[in-house]
Amino acid sequence: MAINRARDIYVEDIMTKVPVIGSPHLTARDLAVLMRAWKVGSVIIIEDGRPLGIVTERDFVNKLVAEDRMPREMTAEDIMSRPLVTVGPKESVADAGRKMARLNLRRLPVVVGEQLVGMLTENDITRLSPSLIEITREWRNINLPGSEDRDLGSFAGYCENCENYSYDLRQTGAVSGRGSLLCAECRDIFVRQPTE
Protein backbone atom coordinates (compact mmCIF):
# COMPACT_ATOMS: atom_id res chain seq x y z
CA MET A 1 0.00 0.00 0.00
CA ALA A 2 1.25 3.50 -0.86
CA ILE A 3 0.95 4.83 2.70
CA ASN A 4 3.16 2.01 4.07
CA ARG A 5 5.72 2.61 1.31
CA ALA A 6 5.82 6.32 2.18
CA ARG A 7 6.41 5.56 5.87
CA ASP A 8 9.65 3.85 4.87
CA ILE A 9 10.86 6.81 2.79
CA TYR A 10 12.29 9.93 4.37
CA VAL A 11 11.83 13.52 3.21
CA GLU A 12 15.55 13.75 2.39
CA ASP A 13 15.13 10.91 -0.13
CA ILE A 14 12.74 12.84 -2.40
CA MET A 15 13.17 16.55 -1.57
CA THR A 16 14.62 19.13 -3.93
CA LYS A 17 18.13 19.65 -2.61
CA VAL A 18 18.70 23.09 -4.16
CA PRO A 19 15.63 25.25 -3.44
CA VAL A 20 15.31 28.74 -4.91
CA ILE A 21 16.16 31.39 -2.30
CA GLY A 22 16.06 35.17 -2.15
CA SER A 23 16.76 38.14 0.09
CA PRO A 24 14.02 39.93 2.07
CA HIS A 25 15.02 43.12 0.23
CA LEU A 26 14.19 41.84 -3.28
CA THR A 27 11.19 43.52 -4.85
CA ALA A 28 8.08 41.50 -5.64
CA ARG A 29 8.87 42.02 -9.32
CA ASP A 30 12.38 40.56 -8.85
CA LEU A 31 10.84 37.57 -7.08
CA ALA A 32 8.36 37.01 -9.92
CA VAL A 33 11.20 37.11 -12.48
CA LEU A 34 13.19 34.65 -10.35
CA MET A 35 10.21 32.27 -10.05
CA ARG A 36 9.60 32.43 -13.79
CA ALA A 37 13.27 31.84 -14.63
CA TRP A 38 13.50 28.78 -12.38
CA LYS A 39 9.93 27.60 -13.17
CA VAL A 40 8.99 27.34 -9.49
CA GLY A 41 5.98 28.41 -7.47
CA SER A 42 7.86 29.80 -4.49
CA VAL A 43 11.04 31.43 -3.19
CA ILE A 44 12.35 30.86 0.32
CA ILE A 45 13.46 34.14 1.90
CA ILE A 46 16.83 33.89 3.67
CA GLU A 47 18.72 36.35 5.87
CA ASP A 48 22.08 35.63 7.52
CA GLY A 49 21.78 32.02 6.37
CA ARG A 50 18.45 31.50 8.17
CA PRO A 51 15.12 30.94 6.41
CA LEU A 52 12.68 33.69 7.48
CA GLY A 53 9.64 33.07 5.31
CA ILE A 54 8.39 32.01 1.89
CA VAL A 55 6.83 33.86 -1.03
CA THR A 56 4.37 31.80 -3.05
CA GLU A 57 2.03 32.40 -5.96
CA ARG A 58 -0.76 32.74 -3.38
CA ASP A 59 1.12 35.63 -1.72
CA PHE A 60 1.23 37.44 -5.06
CA VAL A 61 -2.53 37.03 -5.49
CA ASN A 62 -3.53 37.91 -1.92
CA LYS A 63 -1.00 40.60 -1.05
CA LEU A 64 -0.30 42.26 -4.40
CA VAL A 65 -3.04 41.76 -6.97
CA ALA A 66 -6.01 41.73 -4.59
CA GLU A 67 -4.62 44.77 -2.75
CA ASP A 68 -3.78 46.59 -6.02
CA ARG A 69 -0.13 47.05 -4.97
CA MET A 70 2.78 47.80 -7.29
CA PRO A 71 5.31 44.92 -7.55
CA ARG A 72 8.26 47.34 -7.81
CA GLU A 73 7.27 49.01 -4.53
CA MET A 74 6.77 45.89 -2.40
CA THR A 75 9.60 43.75 -1.06
CA ALA A 76 9.80 40.08 -0.16
CA GLU A 77 9.64 41.11 3.49
CA ASP A 78 6.31 42.85 2.82
CA ILE A 79 4.59 39.89 1.16
CA MET A 80 6.25 36.73 2.48
CA SER A 81 4.33 34.21 4.58
CA ARG A 82 5.68 33.67 8.06
CA PRO A 83 6.29 32.04 10.43
CA LEU A 84 7.77 29.42 8.15
CA VAL A 85 6.25 25.94 8.47
CA THR A 86 9.05 23.42 7.98
CA VAL A 87 9.81 19.71 8.05
CA GLY A 88 12.94 17.77 9.00
CA PRO A 89 14.85 15.63 6.50
CA LYS A 90 14.45 12.50 8.67
CA GLU A 91 10.63 12.75 8.87
CA SER A 92 8.69 10.22 6.85
CA VAL A 93 7.09 11.31 3.60
CA ALA A 94 3.73 10.07 4.93
CA ASP A 95 3.96 12.36 7.99
CA ALA A 96 5.07 15.30 5.84
CA GLY A 97 2.17 14.68 3.45
CA ARG A 98 -0.29 14.69 6.34
CA LYS A 99 1.18 17.95 7.64
CA MET A 100 0.81 19.55 4.20
CA ALA A 101 -2.79 18.36 3.89
CA ARG A 102 -3.72 19.44 7.43
CA LEU A 103 -2.27 22.93 6.96
CA ASN A 104 -3.36 23.25 3.31
CA LEU A 105 0.22 23.77 2.09
CA ARG A 106 1.76 22.67 -1.21
CA ARG A 107 5.39 22.95 -0.13
CA LEU A 108 7.50 22.62 3.02
CA PRO A 109 11.06 23.93 3.42
CA VAL A 110 13.31 21.23 4.88
CA VAL A 111 15.53 22.41 7.73
CA VAL A 112 18.07 21.06 10.19
CA GLY A 113 18.16 23.42 13.15
CA GLU A 114 18.06 26.82 11.45
CA GLN A 115 19.82 25.62 8.28
CA LEU A 116 17.81 25.21 5.06
CA VAL A 117 18.72 21.91 3.38
CA GLY A 118 15.94 21.45 0.80
CA MET A 119 12.31 21.82 -0.23
CA LEU A 120 9.53 19.23 -0.27
CA THR A 121 6.60 19.87 -2.62
CA GLU A 122 3.38 18.08 -3.50
CA ASN A 123 5.00 17.32 -6.86
CA ASP A 124 7.85 15.49 -5.11
CA ILE A 125 5.33 13.35 -3.24
CA THR A 126 3.23 12.77 -6.37
CA ARG A 127 6.30 11.53 -8.26
CA LEU A 128 6.85 9.02 -5.44
CA SER A 129 3.25 7.85 -5.42
CA PRO A 130 0.26 9.72 -6.89
CA SER A 131 -2.07 7.73 -4.65
CA LEU A 132 -0.33 9.11 -1.54
CA ILE A 133 -1.67 12.61 -2.25
CA GLU A 134 -5.16 11.14 -2.61
CA ILE A 135 -4.77 9.24 0.66
CA THR A 136 -3.56 12.32 2.58
CA ARG A 137 -6.32 14.50 1.11
CA GLU A 138 -8.95 11.92 2.02
CA TRP A 139 -7.50 11.74 5.54
CA ARG A 140 -7.70 15.53 5.75
CA ASN A 141 -11.31 15.62 4.56
CA ILE A 142 -12.34 12.91 7.01
CA ASN A 143 -10.82 14.83 9.92
CA LEU A 144 -12.01 18.32 8.97
CA PRO A 145 -15.01 19.63 10.90
CA GLY A 146 -17.95 19.83 8.53
CA SER A 147 -16.28 17.56 5.96
CA GLU A 148 -19.60 15.81 5.48
CA ASP A 149 -20.82 19.06 3.88
CA ARG A 150 -18.07 19.10 1.25
CA ASP A 151 -19.25 20.46 -2.08
CA LEU A 152 -20.48 17.62 -4.28
CA GLY A 153 -19.39 19.62 -7.34
CA SER A 154 -15.70 19.06 -6.57
CA PHE A 155 -13.54 16.28 -7.97
CA ALA A 156 -10.21 14.65 -7.21
CA GLY A 157 -7.54 14.65 -9.89
CA TYR A 158 -4.95 16.78 -11.64
CA CYS A 159 -5.51 20.51 -12.17
CA GLU A 160 -5.62 21.41 -15.86
CA ASN A 161 -3.54 24.52 -15.21
CA CYS A 162 -0.76 23.70 -12.71
CA GLU A 163 -0.99 19.90 -13.14
CA ASN A 164 -0.83 19.35 -9.36
CA TYR A 165 -3.06 16.75 -7.74
CA SER A 166 -6.03 18.26 -5.91
CA TYR A 167 -8.94 16.85 -3.97
CA ASP A 168 -10.90 20.02 -4.75
CA LEU A 169 -11.03 20.39 -8.53
CA ARG A 170 -13.98 22.41 -9.78
CA GLN A 171 -15.34 23.31 -13.18
CA THR A 172 -14.59 26.94 -14.04
CA GLY A 173 -16.21 29.30 -16.54
CA ALA A 174 -16.66 27.74 -19.93
CA VAL A 175 -14.46 28.95 -22.77
CA SER A 176 -15.63 27.85 -26.23
CA GLY A 177 -18.29 25.70 -24.60
CA ARG A 178 -15.82 23.87 -22.33
CA GLY A 179 -14.81 24.68 -18.77
CA SER A 180 -11.53 23.77 -17.09
CA LEU A 181 -11.07 21.72 -13.95
CA LEU A 182 -8.92 23.86 -11.65
CA CYS A 183 -7.61 23.48 -8.10
CA ALA A 184 -8.41 26.09 -5.43
CA GLU A 185 -5.12 27.99 -5.93
CA CYS A 186 -5.58 28.28 -9.70
CA ARG A 187 -9.23 29.30 -9.28
CA ASP A 188 -7.99 32.13 -7.02
CA ILE A 189 -5.58 33.29 -9.73
CA PHE A 190 -8.01 33.37 -12.61
CA VAL A 191 -10.92 35.80 -12.73
CA ARG A 192 -14.14 33.93 -12.18
CA GLN A 193 -16.84 34.23 -14.80
CA PRO A 194 -20.05 35.87 -13.49
CA THR A 195 -22.81 33.35 -12.93
CA GLU A 196 -26.14 33.90 -14.62
Q: Which helix (H) or strand (E) holds 111?
A: strand 107-112
Residue 107 is predicted with a pLDDT of 94
**Residues ≥6 apart with Cβ < 8 Å to 185:** 57, 58, 106, 162
Q: How far is CA 28 from the centre of its chain?
A: 18
Instruction: Report the pLDDT averaged over residues 152-160.
Output: 65
Q: Mean pLDDT throughout 101-127?
A: 90
| pTM metric for this prediction | 0.63
Among the residue ranges 41-45, 91-95, 113-117, 125-129, the one predicted with the least confidence is: 125-129
Would you say residue 125 has pLDDT above 70? yes
Task: Catalogue all structural domains in the chain, each as residue range(s) with its CATH number.
Answer: 2-131 (3.10.580.10), 151-196 (no CATH)
Residue range 30-58: average pLDDT?
A: 93
Residue 91 has a pLDDT of 94
Whether residue 98 has pLDDT greater than 50? yes
Residue, of 190 and 77, whose pLDDT is higher: 77
Is 192 or 99 the better-scoring residue by pLDDT? 99
